[in-house]
Chain A
Amino acid sequence: MNWLREVARRLRMLVHRRQFDADLEEEMQLHLELRQQEHFESGMTADSARAAARRRFGNVTALREKSHMAWGWEWFENLVQDVRYGLRMLRKSPGFTAVAVLTLTLGIGANTAIFGVINGVLLRPLPYKDPSRLVVVWNDYGDSGQSLPAVSPSDYNDYIQRSQLIEEWGATGGGGRGAQTLVTQSSSGEEVPEKIDARFVSASLLSMLGVNLMLGRNFTAAEDVVNGPNVAMLSYKFWQQHFAADPNIIGKSFRLNDKDVTIVGVLPRDFLLLVPAEVFNFTKDVDIWRPQQLDYASFPRNLALLLAFGRLKNRVTLAQAQSEMDRIAAQLRAENEVHKSSGMRIRLVPLREDIVKGVRLSLVVLMGAVGFVLLIACGNVANLLLARASTRQKEIAIRTALGAGRRRIVRQVLTEAILLSLLGGAFGVLLAYWGTDLLLALRPADLPRVQDIHIDGSVLLFCLGACLFTGVIFGMAQALPAIRWNMDCLKEGTKGTGGGGRHPTRKILVIAEVAMSMILLLGAGLLIRSFYLLERVRPGFDPTNVLTFQVSAPISRYPTPESAARFEQAVEDGIAALPGVVAVGGVVRPPLTGSGPQTPYAYNPETEQKWESISADWRPATPGYFQAMGIRLAAGRFFTRADDREHPRVVIVDDTLAQQAWPNQDPIGKRLQVTYRRDFTSPPVLDKVYAQVVGVVIHPRIHDLSRAVRPQIYNAAAQSAIPTLTYTVKTAGNIPGLEKEIDDVVHGLDRGIPVHDVRPMDDFVSDVMAPRRFSLIMVLIFGAIALTLASIGLYGVIAYSVTQRTHEMGIRMALGAGPKEIWGLVVGEGLALAVPGIIIGLVGGLAVTRLMSGLLFGVSATDVPTFAGGAVVVALVAMIACYVPARRASKLHPMTALRHE
């Protein structure tokens, strides 16, 4: 602890350093006087006594400094001095300070805001217990078969039994809106049915994630068994809205699906189950949580309907766990014919990676773009600093002449630079707070982990790092030329010879700025082209004037597939009769509403052998669906009401599948092996059936407008067992009051069935475009800022140069040069900077835009029109930046110019 006491003594010295200095001075003085007196008393004259005393003592100033430095605070005192001096310099030129700070605020603020998003979405650990060890289980089939984060309950059961390296398992087996109906009493005493979002989970899931309940307890293992008790946990929001945040809610019950359900717990406000985007039928706003109560082993092996989570044992790597799961997959393939034919494989994906994989590239591109903005801002501030260099040059020469070391000079310049950047950073944080709100307002709906985005310690730390980084960057740009300057400028008297003209640094900076804004503009241009092309893509369906809504026929009232189908047909008929309705049809999962059901299929002996190694999207639909959605028929016919359970099973395939299965043949009348759900029993029974192809449609892009994902098979809804349909209503235009009329139709058929999730089809299109729109707007904003900053930089250099060359221009004019020549001279100088910048930017663009090819659609990363257009835009902006100085130069009177110092 000795060193601690030493530090304490040093600190005490720092605080009382004036006192210490005075003490030292006094005791040295005493020493000198006593010695002088001694000499004097021994007979020397007063003068020689003083001289002798001084001689014996040594160099007082040097000794005083040595004593002072012994305390080790020299650096600190220098820093204080530098900071004071720097602040004085900044105060002395408020215009310069304001422009520099504003520029830095923009750069640092934008970076901080974007980093805040990156930090929340990509970097922060998930809000669960020990989240780095959580994985999601994916099952992949065959070479081009299904790949989903979904496993069969029987398999899940086997994972639990067989895995040694995964210590905890949790699963959720469905849910979503539509499954559960809550009946509440309206004020008039009428019973109002309401669909709520229930999520079914294993008892282990929430405890595995480490959720601390707000009230009550988690499900017990005893509750998570077949025919277990009717219990539920409430989400915070549901508890607030439906139970008025009753603190004594635990143990009370409410009616759900005509049964009493006991409340055992309430979840915390911020809890959110984060799942991969591919999970089927998942909504974020879960209202209530229920134990899934599944008899895992009773499920067929090929019914993959559980989302399974695992927690790796401590110190087990992903690779180790994966190889164990590979072994288990091999066992399961050997034991089960369905897994053998399908080539089922198990893949573990870290939960965090799975959640953010869709947005990582766009966020990284945004960070890159905003980083460029910061570099350009640095360049501008460095340019401003260098423009002031002519005055500073003299000052620095004087300081050097007085004995300031090179290091001391550099430190002074850097201190000033970092002061500037810290000022910019302080305002930048404010800008970032505001910018984060703006970003969140503009964000695409599918951005995961929004609740984790805020400005926290690590974001502030990043901001501080950005400040120091920028300060050092533009500080060095100023300091390096400064230490090369010599004393010569002192000889030149008052004649100010600017640093800017002679030093290439400013020009290099401007060229770099132009190059970087060129690259940003190329990125923005490519995104704009992609967006434009995607907007014009014909997705194979027509979303205009299509309204969608969901209706579920509860099994309690419609226990057979036939009764459900009759209800669904009645709904369709009722809506078709409404005025303005052009077509109406029902489907499971309309386009762009997330991943939906899939079916394995086979069309020849070979594919029958490898059953389940290939799969297609499986869309039960009613006859009117195709016309309502504008899906076009290529051959054959659509479904009719006659395609019911009394008649042979029929399907409609898309042209992709028809081409793959029966190239150069007529697909109509061909047989396709698929699976149908038999009835409403749970677990569901799937029948492997041959269905006849009656129609071929042009493939609609139902997952993503940018590409066809997999083949599609439509089956007649009345031939399957479908309790919930999404209805699509095509109207002749905007029909006011249509929603109310639809409500009336459904309630006229059955008072107990609510209509929910009413949304126009256009909304879904706009939702899938939202991430692209977001990246596009952001990159465009950053590109615009970059170009503005770069043109300000260019303007600064050219304007400065015009001032420098006024005398020269006067001579040229006197020798007969007209305004045109002068104009050309100035613009030529601007272009001499802009053109290399543009060329470097284009070359750099070739390298950089390739990294964002994952975000592009329909254009290559080296799209020639974009590159050409970008170059023209930058060149034009450069010309505009030169315009004002050029005009000023051309209007100069030759005599004024000649007299110009």
Chain B
Amino acid sequence: MPRGDHLHRDEIPPGTLYLLILKTLARSGEMHGYEIANSIQRISDDVLQVEEGSLYPALQRMLIKGWVTAKWGTTAGNRRARYYQLTAAGRKQLAVEMSQFERVIGAITRVIEAV
């Protein structure tokens, strides 16, 4: 099956989707799903490729956890869209995920450099 333009892009490392969404929202305030997907791709210079639909189950889970809240607003193109915003709990979670991520990356880096 042809993968087309997916071929040169990297899948998001498992478990980091929450981190990416949290970070994106922290940087830009309010966003709807499409904007979040685009933002992740743009900032990563199109390297990180989200299976875009998987944002939505993740966002639902984050709503349950209380990391984000959602409210309906209007897009620039005058369409109804659900805008997500970070909560205080979300900010706290971002810090947790960040430090966890850095710990893992640090460990991997040390392993690689030791070779």
Q: Which residues of A contact B (CB under 8 A)?
A: 2, 5-6, 9-10, 13, 23-24, 26-28, 30-31, 34-35, 52, 55-60, 63-64, 66-68, 70-72
B contacts with A: majority SS: helix
A34, B32: Cα distance in complex, Å: 12
> Please, what's the 1-or-0 string for B16-42, where 1 marks a CB less than 8 Å from any CB in chain A?
000000000000000011100100000
Are B57 and A35 in contact, CB atoms less than 8 angstroms apart?
no
Residues of A within 8 A of B63 (CB): 9
Which B residues, 53 to 102, have Cβ-Cβ distances below 8 Å to chain A? 53-54, 56-57, 59-61, 63-66, 72, 75, 79-82, 89
Q: List 21 A-B contacts (CB under 8 A).
A: A2-B89, A5-B66, A24-B60, A26-B82, A27-B81, A28-B53, A28-B56, A30-B33, A30-B75, A31-B34, A31-B53, A34-B34, A35-B34, A55-B4, A56-B51, A58-B53, A59-B53, A63-B57, A70-B60, A70-B61, A71-B64
Residues of A within 8 A of B53 (CB): 28, 31, 57-60, 63
A60, B82: Cα distance in complex, Å: 18
Are A67 and B57 in contact, CB atoms less than 8 angstroms apart?
yes
Residues of B within 8 A of A6 (CB): 64-66
B48 to chain A, nearest CB (A): 13
Residues of B within 8 A of A13 (CB): 64
A60, B56: Cα distance in complex, Å: 10
A41 to chain B, nearest CB (A): 12
A312 to chain B, nearest CB (A): 53
Are B60 and A30 in contact, CB atoms less than 8 angstroms apart?
no
Are A26 and B80 in contact, CB atoms less than 8 angstroms apart?
yes
Across the interface, A63 reaches (CB within 8 A) one of B34, B37, B54, namely: B54
Chain A residue at minimal CB-CB distance from B79: A30
B85 to chain A, nearest CB (A): 15
Number of A-B residue pairs, CB cutoff 8 Å, is: 71
A26, B73: Cα distance in complex, Å: 13
A698 to chain B, nearest CB (A): 87
A71, B64: Cα distance in complex, Å: 7
Query: What are the 10 tightest A-B residue pairs by CB atom distance, in nearest-first order?
Result: A58-B53, A66-B57, A63-B53, A70-B60, A57-B53, A67-B57, A67-B60, A31-B34, A58-B51, A27-B82
A825 to chain B, nearest CB (A): 63
The total of chain B residues at the interface (CB under 8 A) is 25
A contacts with B: majority SS: helix
B59 to chain A, nearest CB (A): 8
Chain A residue at minimal CB-CB distance from B83: A27
Are B52 and A30 in contact, CB atoms less than 8 angstroms apart?
no
Across the interface, A27 reaches (CB within 8 A) one of B33, B54, B65, B89, namely: B33
Residues of A within 8 A of B32 (CB): 27, 30
Are A63 and B56 in contact, CB atoms less than 8 angstroms apart?
yes
Residues of A within 8 A of B82 (CB): 23, 26-27
Known A-B contacts A58-B53, A59-B53; A31 and B60 likewise in contact (beta carbons under 8 Å): no
A10, B56: Cα distance in complex, Å: 17
Are B80 and A58 in contact, CB atoms less than 8 angstroms apart?
no
Across the interface, B54 reaches (CB within 8 A) one of A24, A26, A55, A58, namely: A58
Known A-B contacts A31-B33, A63-B56; A10 and B64 likewise in contact (beta carbons under 8 Å): yes
A42 to chain B, nearest CB (A): 11
A35 to chain B, nearest CB (A): 7
A26 to chain B, nearest CB (A): 7
Residues of A within 8 A of B57 (CB): 63, 66-67, 70
B30 to chain A, nearest CB (A): 14
A63, B58: Cα distance in complex, Å: 10
Are B56 and A24 in contact, CB atoms less than 8 angstroms apart?
yes
